[in-house]
Structure 1
Amino acid sequence: MTGAKIDLRELSDAVLLTDGGLETSLVFLDGINLPSFAAFPLLGEEEGREKLDRYFRQYLDIADKYGVGFVLDTPTWRANPDWGEILGFSKRALASIDMQAVSWARALAAPYAARGMTVLVNGVIGPRGDGYRVETVMTPAEAESYHRDQVKAFGDAGADMVSAITMTYSQEAAGIARASAGAGLQSVISFTVETDGRLPSGESLKDAIETVDDETDSAPAYFMINCAHPSHFDAVLAGGGSWIRRVRGVRANASAKSHAELDAATELDPGDPVDLGRRYRAMRDRFGHIAVLGGCCGTDRRHIAAICEACL
């Protein structure tokens, strides 16, 4: 089944799987050149689409094996106006790519959905600037205006949901949630944190989530943490609080290195897939509502399989 009529809030504690680290896998494992770390240009060529197909099918197959649903991302993390301009794509071209990305994902999901798997086609939105540093700071209203065209393209193409991935400060995240609500799309907000468990902006995870909820009348279906190792945020979650119920997903890095160290790395640090799986299990044992499970930088099918083996 597809997720077109599924309310994300009604999924409760149902497990949903995601992929691993798309861009790091393509660059370091497949040897593909991704200028500005952007995967979306691959959609414009048959060979590129085939590479994306192969990458995502391995994760869909893992979800199929374990009998869980899957959140299928569009490869559009960099497909916003600022990055598009750097890469030579106009706003009109970006809108076309966003819509093509949803159609591509829907076609890839079709055989799995036909077998009864819940597959949610997820329009991915990245930060306006760098994913590790706060650069241009927007108000929620400015961020809503900036990201509105991409959200609209996803909605027009029939995406099931929109996720803001690797958000570095709360105001931009709130703007994306507002834009999604205005387009009638369910949204998910995923923050990244530094080794001290705080956002690159210096905000605590608690404050960032509560700020977004206050600014948007709790519009996001749920929140996630991504692009950080579990050791970076374990203590934050252990601190407790009602806000933790809003965190439903984790997409951790394979490596325990800091963002600065990863940014300067010339080789991939795959960490320890088995240890990562154990950490997810410990987290699930304590917070059973954290049920959207996947990976980020440095993770591949080994890590996702280890997470499934440990948790499912």
Structure 2
Amino acid sequence: MRKVGLTTIAALVVAIVAVSASAPMIAFAAAPALAIAFWRNALGTAALAPAALLGSRGGRGGEPGRRRGALGVTLLSGVFLAVHFGTWVPSAKLTSVAMSVALVSTTPVWTALVAAARGVKVPASTWAGIGIAVAGVALATGADPDLSGRALLGDALALAGGIAAAGYTLLGERARATLPTTVYASVCYSVCALLLLAVCLASGTRLWGYTWETWIAIAGMTIGPQLLGHTLINYSLHRVSATTVAVLLLLEVPGALVIAWLLLGQLPAARTLPGIAILLAGVAVVVLGARRRQPTKGGTIISPEAIGTT
């Protein structure tokens, strides 16, 4: 068993705080949700471009045909990432921050279901976790006093964002077997940004003219969750198992709740908290259940790309 040093612990703490700030900053920013999603990925692409160019020169080697195939998978992964951000970012403005983050955190549940549909044997504990998570969703949404169409749409979009993140996860796992991390992330973010830009232009979404506070929030989302959070998560994955990191990152939900309270004065209704807690417990059981299964040709339920999509 590897000893976890103070540097790794500090990296995980900073990563959890960084990703926890994502949804509150989205809710704070006075800009259209799709524009926020576009700028976050466009700025992330620009920041990663120099490292991606260096990574493409060094690369991981391998046959040219495999690399072309991996790039094709990466392009499709970028489509799923665009769907993820295009649904989840609006959800943070329509429903409570706590509900939005909790529902999008169900990604491991959807990857488990995809694995089962592909004929991969899923442990009984994983199915139990899925049942617990579903019960938590039902309890949390049923106890939410805000049953407006706006809030329910936000809940549905958050779930859709979690499902799209599962597609991004599974495709990313295949692409990362051949491509360097920076190349994969840069291509994926750029495809995501271009698709979101097209949607923004087609829908007439305003892309500039925001207040300086909003631009600071957008920059904060890029530097914090998008770059700093993901970078430190990848750093930690070389020293701590993906399963452990995935479970620890469920702390994003209470972290987002605290930040939303401090930044927005927003707290979820107390009666929804037990359901959110049960939902997170179910996701944790799914993650831990995946650990019992060795990687197979059909892919794994939990991989580095499954972590930290927000």
Q: Tell me, yes or no, whether TM beats 0.5.
A: no
TM-score by length of 1: 0.26
Larger radius of gyration: 2
RCO greater where, 1 or 2, for CA within 8 Å and sep 6 or more?
Answer: 2
TM-score by length of 2: 0.26
